[in-house]
Structure 1
């Protein structure tokens, strides 16, 4: 049985393999494709709708327990590219 995680965007539970692990590095959100980068991780469906919901709900700040501004540009680009390639 595969581990289950919750998407920070849509808040639905899904298998870990269907979600992207996101971590914070230097106040920037980056995708962790191997799920091995250190630090707190958050999980997100690789869909622009889930990304937009997470931004709208300010879910990334809560998930990472960060009070400052997080740069989401690289994550948004990764999600958009994933949608085009997938």
Structure 2
């Protein structure tokens, strides 16, 4: 019998899609009542998972899903999360721009 490794799966509160935990971002409420990005997914407390995508954040905000998922009254301020996603996206775009396209590839004849 083949053994398979277990991959934790979570649901995005924005698009409601399921994805491996490593592809989602965990959000928690801090002790001060502010919404905080838990990029290492180790902070204590109830968390909500979301894709690292501004459209999922906008969906979650429009549907007021973060307040329900975190069991808080009202909708939390998502500005820190929006800034974190924007900076993360900027770093990703910059990293992709520095890698030359086609570097290290060969054609079908090996040359």
Same fold (TM over 0.5): yes
Match of 1:84 among 90, 101, 111: 90
Greater Rg by CA: 2
Aligned-CA RMSD value? 1.1
Counterpart CA distance in 2 for 1:37 and 1:23 is: 8
Q: Does 1:54 align with 2:52?
A: no
Paired position in structure 1 for 2:3: none
Paired position in structure 1 for 2:13: 8
Structure 1 segments unaligned to the other structure (5+ residues):
none
Pairing 1:63-82 to 2, within 5 Å after superposition: 63-82=69-88
Task: String of CA shifts for 1:29-64, please: whole Å, max 9, x gaps.
Answer: 111111111100010100000000000000010001
Q: Does 1:28 align with 2:34?
A: yes
Moved over 6 A (4+): none
Asked whether the equivalents of residues 27 and 71 of structure 1 are also in contact (C-alpha less than 8 Å), the reply is no
Structure 2 segments unaligned to the other structure (5+ residues):
1-5, 93-111
* TM-score normalised to structure 2 length: 0.73
Secondary structure of 1:44's counterpart equals: strand
Secondary structure of 2:19's counterpart equals: strand
Counterpart CA distance in 1 for 2:85 and 2:8 is: 22
